[in-house]
Amino acid sequence: MAAIAIDGPAGAGKSTIAKRTAKALGFIYVDTGAMYRAMALFMLREGVDIRDTDAVADAAKRAEITIRHEGGEQVVILNGENVSGSIRTEEVSQAASTVSVVGQVRERLVALQQELARTADVVMDGRDIGTVVLPDAKLKIFMTASSAVRAHRRFLELKERGEEADEEQIRRDIEERDERDRNREISPLRQADDAVYLDTSALTIDEVTERILALWK
Ligand code: DC
Mean pLDDT of the chain: 96
Q: What is the CATH number of the domain that holds 172?
A: 3.40.50.300
Domain ranges, residue 155: 3-216
Query: 161 pLDDT exceeds 90?
Result: no
Banded pLDDT at 157 (limits 50, 70, 90)? confident
Query: 192 pLDDT exceeds 90?
Result: yes
pLDDT of residue 30: 97
Lowest-confidence pick of 153-162, 171-180, 195-204? 153-162
Atom of ligand 1 nearest to the CA of 94: 10
Atom of ligand 1 nearest to the CA of 129: 18
| Closest by Cα among 56, 8, 60 to 33 | 8
Rounded mean pLDDT, 165-190: 96
pTM reported for the whole predicted model: 0.96
CA 166 to each of CA 96, 169, 173: distance values in angstroms, whole numbers, following the listed order: 21, 5, 11
Q: How many domains are there within the chain?
A: 1
- Whether 105 contacts 39, CB under 8 Å: yes
pLDDT in tens, 203-215: 999 999 999 999 9
The preferred substitution site among 43, 65, 124, 127 for testing ligand 1, maximizing ligand atoms within 8 Å of CB, is 127
Distance CA(113)–CA(119), nearest Å, equals 10
Residue 66 has φ and ψ, to the nearest 5°, of: -140, 170
Distance CA(192)–CA(189), nearest Å, equals 9
Pure H helices in 101-204: 103-119, 147-160, 167-183
Question: Residue 207's beta-bridge partner residues?
Answer: none
Banded pLDDT at 95 (limits 50, 70, 90)? very high
pLDDT of residue 50: 98
Cα of 216 from ligand 1 centre, angstroms: 24
Lowest-confidence pick of 51-55, 100-104, 156-160? 156-160
Pocket residues for ligand 1 (CB within 6 Å)?
Answer: 10, 32-33, 36-37, 93, 96-97, 100, 126-129, 177, 181
pLDDT of residue 142: 98
pLDDT in tens, 121-138: 999 999 999 999 999 999
Cα of 2 from ligand 1 centre, angstroms: 22
